[in-house]
Amino acid sequence: MVKNRKHIRLKKELGLMDVYAIATGATLSAGFFLLPGIAAVQAGPALVLAYMIAAIPLIPAMFSVIELATAMPRAGGVYYFLDRSLGPFFGTIGGIGTWLALILKVAFALVGMGAYVRLYFPEMQIKPLAVVIALILGALCLFGAHKSSKLQVWMALLLLALLGLFFGAGVLEFQPAHFENFFASGFDAILGTAGMVYISYVGVTKVASLSEEVKNPERNLPLGIMLALGTSLIVYCLGTTLIVGLVPAAELHGSLTPVATAADYALGPTGKILLSLAALLAFVSVANAGLLSSSRYPLAMSRDHLLPPRFRRLSKFGTPTNAILVTLASTILLIVLFDPMRIAKLASAFQLLMFALVCLAVIVMRESRITSYDPGYKSPFYPWMQIVGMIAPFLLIAKMGLFSMLFSGGMILVATLWFVFYARRRVERAGAIYHVFERLGRHRYQGLDPELRGILREKGLRASDPFDEIVLRSLVFDQNESCHFEGLLQVVAHKLRRVIPLSPDEIMAQIMEGTRIGATPVSRGVALPHFRTQRIDQPEMVLVRNRQGITMTLYDPLTQQKLDDVVVNAVFFLISPERDPAQHLRMLARIAERVDEESFATEWQNARDEHDIKESLLHDDQIVSLSIGREGSSAELAGQLLRDNTIPEGCLVAILSRGGISFVPDGKTLLQVGDRLTIIGDQKGLAQLRQRYGRAEDAAREG
């Protein structure tokens, strides 16, 4: 039974290899195994150049998609990016149109493999086989992205291994004479061919629709997509060069099995069989990746009320069952009722239009100046990269003919009608473009910034964020008498002036201004006053614990009138440099996340000293607290200089506590029995420490 799990996020199950395999599998199919023979009719041997040119317009779109996906890792990919940047109208067009284009590509791939199947089974009906494969892939999708991605990894590895065999053998039989009269067809024909084969590359970005399910998306998405594009470029450029160099022009022109034909020349009948198998793997792989990616569009649009709520329901496996089923059913209907080989090509113009809008979305998001827009990867050469990405697709669209443009116009019309008659009355949000309008005197949409802040919180800190170091060197006030926030602030401001070049009055003014306008979060007995300034180079923190309570006055952020008093037991002051607002927000989000954890309140209240207070704010997996005892595994450290001990590489003793006093040690510090070390570092080194000396709580008992 399927349960409605509204607002539950999809499981993060996809690693780097999964991203790479899905992106590669969505790219290497008809573009390599079917189109070279058709492209040769138009461009002759220059089809190799056409494939190289075709990749150029994809590059701005790829960089733009990566930037948006690392800033907003949410199901729906292009739909979500367009909705949050340009608004729900463009989101509806992008969501419905891209979903339809993807399932057309899935149907095209499953039917397109028929040319290779008929090499050995000329009487076989391909449509029943395509339906069966679609049902199998759909069933895998129902059990989770991880299951589908594992199949994808194995198919991609086997496909690349077979292609590697073909490339190695093909070089030995290569005929340079086949490249005579390279430009005989003319440059216009080459450009027209580039427009036709451009569709070969677009699958590389479709994995962005699965970004919500990617572990560490800020690393795995850029790296996986770039590796996939690099692999695709090598396969297409080297592969088409070998096809032209192996197969005589008369035999290549119009061939629907060019790779099998070329493999016959390079490896004989056995090679022809193996590369036909590779072709089948490629077609099934692109169908699997396309079905997995496209099913996330109805889910994402349903979350935002652009589609009925049934599409956002998740099964017990954490998969959008209804979204997968309607995508699967639509694919099967296309296979049975239409000719996907003809229709899918017409969707190329729409894909190009979406890539132009994605480049525009990056410009809108950056120019909106929303501080919580925090991509883990930023597109290079902004905004020129995006401007080229907005213009180049239209040059190719012009070469695709009237029918492709009319088909795209029809898809836009269908999406527009759906928005007007169903979605418009159900949504109230607007995109980041209204933040750009605000700079021109109009109103912005207030709901986007909190949503992006929520995404920041989910993504967590980056490896370069010095959160642990900031906490460990922070000032600590441990009070036992109740007080009022303004009185506490006076004391804190006088202490802070020693580490930041601001007067106490300036510090107090900044903090109180934030409190009056509602910028100081107060939750679960914790207040988090903060501000940014140009006059410091590194963030600073002050941690305050008061068991008896600190009374704070809350204000109406609009009128700045007093509303009510609340009592908190913890106040965390954070001051950061003005130049990096995104890092400031990430650290605020990390503190809020830690405060919400069930263990925080107990650890905070039970902290015995300044050392414990700091550690209670840090995550247990990110630090090791080690006490040197007279006996046990830690006793071996006593009497050693810090520089001579066996702390693993990548770890650092950040704080040493001795006799109730905490300080930052150096290499010449002599370790003694009773010393308490707070060690930070990478996960591998910390795991070695825990294995050698026991976890923090065990090591502490040795003292």
Residues contacting 13, CB < 8 A, separation 6+:
144, 145, 146, 149, 213, 215
Binned at pLDDT 50, 70 and 90, residue 314 comes out as: confident
Q: Is 137 contained in some domain?
A: yes
Whole-number Å distance between alpha carbons of 29 and 190: 21
CA-CA distances (angstroms) from residue 663 to 465, 475, 495, 611, 612?
22, 12, 17, 10, 14
Q: In this model, does residue 696 exceed pLDDT 50?
A: no
Lowest-pLDDT range of 167-176, 235-244, 280-289, 653-662 = 653-662
Share of the chain above pLDDT 90, in %: 17
pLDDT in tens, 36-59: 888 888 888 999 999 998 888 889
Whole-number Å distance between alpha carbons of 385 and 383: 5
Whether residue 400 is found in the same domain as residue 492? no
Shortest CA distance to 469 belongs to which of 274, 247, 212, 652? Answer: 652
pLDDT in tens, 552-573: 888 876 667 787 889 999 999 9
Q: In this model, does residue 430 exceed pLDDT 50?
A: yes
Whether residue 96 is found in the same domain as residue 189? yes
Lowest-pLDDT range of 192-196, 423-427, 498-502 = 192-196
Whether residue 572 is found in the same domain as residue 669? no
The dihedrals phi and psi of 508, each to the nearest 5 degrees, come to -65, -40
**Which domain CATH number covers 505?**
3.40.930.10
Spatial contact of 156 and 24, defined as CB atoms under 8 Å apart: yes
Whether residue 285 is found in the same domain as residue 300? yes
Which residues form the domain of 603?
A: 460-616
Shortest CA distance to 51 belongs to which of 265, 228, 244? Answer: 244
Q: For residues 359 and 681, which has the higher predicted lDDT (pLDDT)?
A: 359
Whether residue 338 is found in the same domain as residue 235? yes
Whether residue 469 is found in the same domain as residue 404? no
The dihedrals phi and psi of 526, each to the nearest 5 degrees, come to -130, 135
Whether residue 323 is found in the same domain as residue 386? yes
Q: In this model, does residue 104 exceed pLDDT 80?
A: yes
Sign of the Cα torsion 243, 249, 253, 257 reads negative
Domain end marker among 568, 587, 616: 616
Domain end marker among 377, 402, 426: 426
Q: Is 448 contained in some domain?
A: no
Whether residue 606 is found in the same domain as residue 637? no
Q: In this model, does residue 263 exceed pLDDT 80?
A: yes
Spatial contact of 430 and 443, defined as CB atoms under 8 Å apart: no
Whether residue 601 is found in the same domain as residue 639? no
Shortest CA distance to 427 belongs to which of 311, 301, 313? Answer: 301
Q: Is 696 contained in some domain?
A: yes
Share of the chain above pLDDT 70, in %: 92
Whether residue 612 is found in the same domain as residue 623? no
What tokens appear for 503 in the block?
């007067």
Spatial contact of 288 and 317, defined as CB atoms under 8 Å apart: no
**Which domain CATH number covers 670?**
3.30.70.1450
Whole-number Å distance between alpha carbons of 116 and 110: 11
Average pLDDT over residues 269-287: 88
What tokens appear for 55 in the block?
């990749």
Q: Is 432 contained in some domain?
A: no
Report CA 223 to chain centroid distance, whole Å.
10
Pairing of strands 676-681, 651-658: antiparallel
Q: In this model, does residue 541 exceed pLDDT 80?
A: yes
Q: Is 399 contained in some domain?
A: yes
Q: Is 1 contained in some domain?
A: no
Domain end marker among 575, 590, 616: 616
Whether residue 29 is found in the same domain as residue 114? yes
pLDDT in tens, 8-42: 667 788 889 988 988 888 888 778 888 888 888 88
- Report how many domains make up the chain: 3
Q: In this model, does residue 443 exceed pLDDT 60?
A: no
Look over the chain and give the mean of its residue pLDDT values, rounded to a whole number: 83
Give the pTM. Answer: 0.76
pLDDT in tens, 143-196: 876 667 788 888 888 989 999 999 998 888 889 989 888 888 888 888 878 877
DSSP state of 37: H
Average pLDDT over residues 206-224: 86
pLDDT in tens, 506-521: 889 988 888 877 778 8
Q: In this model, does residue 699 exceed pLDDT 60?
A: no
Q: Is 146 exposed, middle or buried (0-12, 13-18, 19+ CB in 10 A)?
A: middle
Q: Is 373 contained in some domain?
A: yes
The residues that bridge with 574 in the sheet, in sequence order, are 530, 541
The dihedrals phi and psi of 349, each to the nearest 5 degrees, come to -65, -40
Q: Is 442 contained in some domain?
A: no
The dihedrals phi and psi of 536, each to the nearest 5 degrees, come to -130, 155
Whether residue 636 is found in the same domain as residue 685? yes
Binned at pLDDT 50, 70 and 90, residue 329 comes out as: very high
